[in-house]
């Protein structure tokens, strides 16, 4: 498993893409959240990394929640899969989205106004574009050869954090969250922790992460940062687009 960081910014960023990643898994590529400009985000990130990957090579999406900076790209990515945009030779089909029950229940409500227009006389439904797979908290799921486990975070919308493992090493992904010591303890099972930090009460202040034990901070990396984040305010690694995370 290799994890390519595609975006590190928050919803108001002017200089980054919003927070997301692409995972090279044993069974294919898994997108972790699906922000705006997703085709460009994947193209630029994989080109920088030397990967030959097109957005239509991505068939699985791990979706943490329904804030736009994490899900706005789903409309375009699903259309591309259905109509083989850019890649006439690519297989057409549904996009597999793996997420929590509250997100799965409302995903089509969010997307339908832009996607349910009839082109064959019958209005489209979610099943025309997506295979929805519900992740149950604290229950292992298998996606593209990876073992995935989720936990709800502290955030205004239902949001999940993730533990992602290939059997050799485990990535912890905080998801958007206010500071939650129980969530930190859960993420501490992983070898590498990607944790968000931002300014509002819906997010985790850097001061809270700075107060964690040295060994935990040494395994931690930061994303979802404001553009004016002062890197001198912490000794925790700040991620950038194009960074790669991988095990031993």
Q: pLDDT (tens digit, 9 = 90+) per residue, 173-212?
A: 999 999 999 999 999 999 999 999 999 889 999 999 999 9
SS3 state at 77: helix
pLDDT tens digits, 72-107:
999 999 998 887 655 555 455 789 999 999 999 999
What is the domain count for the chain? 1
Q: What is the mean pLDDT of the chain?
A: 94
pLDDT tens digits, 225-241:
999 999 999 999 999 99
Which residues are 29's β-sheet partners? Answer: 24, 58
Largest CA distance in the chain: 61
Angular region, 174: left φ>0, alpha ψ -120 to 50, beta rest: alpha
pLDDT at 123 over 60: yes
Are 209 and 233 in contact, with CB atoms under 8 Å apart?
Answer: no
Are 186 and 160 in contact, with CB atoms under 8 Å apart?
Answer: no
Which residues are 163's β-sheet partners? Answer: 149, 172
The pLDDT, as a whole number, for residue 107 is: 98
pLDDT bucket at 62, cuts 50 / 70 / 90: very high
pLDDT at 31 over 60: yes
Please compute the mean of the pLDDT values over residues 120-145 and round it to a whole number.
93
pTM of the model: 0.94
The pLDDT, as a whole number, for residue 82 is: 83
Distances (CA, A) of 204 to 92, 152, 196, 225, 235: 40, 15, 7, 10, 16
Domain span at residue 72?
2-246
Tallying the residues shown for the chain, one arrives at 248
Of 187, 198, 102, the closest CA to residue 150 belongs to 187
Tell me the torsion sign for CA atoms 139, 208, 193, 16. Answer: positive
How many Å apart are CA 134 and CA 142, to the nearest integer? 12
SS3 state at 112: helix
pLDDT at 68 over 90: yes
Helix ranges, the chain (H): 38-49, 68-71, 74-83, 101-115, 181-187, 206-210, 214-217
pLDDT bucket at 119, cuts 50 / 70 / 90: confident
What percent of the chain shows pLDDT beyond 90?
87
Distances (CA, A) of 20 to 114, 233, 245: 23, 23, 13
pLDDT bucket at 145, cuts 50 / 70 / 90: very high
CATH number (domain holding residue 147): 3.60.15.10
The pLDDT, as a whole number, for residue 121 is: 74
């Amino acid at each position: 498993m290799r994890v390519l960081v595609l975006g590190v910014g928050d919803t108001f960023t002017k200089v980054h893409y919003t927070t997301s990643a692409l995972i090279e898994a044993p069974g294919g590529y898994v997108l972790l959240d699906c922000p705006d400009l997703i085709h460009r985000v994947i193209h630029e990130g994989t080109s920088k990394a030397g990967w030959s990957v097109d957005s239509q090579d991505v068939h699985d999406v791990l979706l943490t929640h329904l804030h736009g900076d994490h899900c706005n790209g789903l409309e375009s990515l699903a259309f591309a899969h259905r109509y083989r945009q850019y890649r006439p030779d690519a297989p057409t089909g549904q996009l597999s989205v793996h997420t929590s029950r509250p997100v799965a229940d409302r995903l089509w409500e969010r997307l339908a106004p832009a996607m349910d227009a009839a082109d064959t006389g019958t209005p489209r439904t979610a099943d025309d574009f997506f295979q929805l797979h519900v992740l149950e908290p604290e229950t292992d799921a298998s996606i593209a050869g990876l073992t995935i486990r989720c936990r709800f975070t502290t955030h205004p919308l239902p949001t999940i954090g993730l533990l992602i493992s290939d059997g050799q090493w485990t990535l912890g992904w905080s998801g958007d969250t206010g500071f939650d010591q129980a969530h930190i303890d859960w993420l501490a099972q992983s070898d590498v922790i990607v944790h968000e930090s931002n300014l509002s009460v819906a997010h985790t202040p850097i001061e809270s992460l700075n107060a964690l034990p040295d060994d935990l901070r040494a395994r931690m990396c930061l994303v979802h940062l404001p553009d004016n984040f002062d890197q001198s305010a912490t000794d925790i690694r700040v991620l950038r687009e194009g960074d790669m995370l991988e095990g031993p």
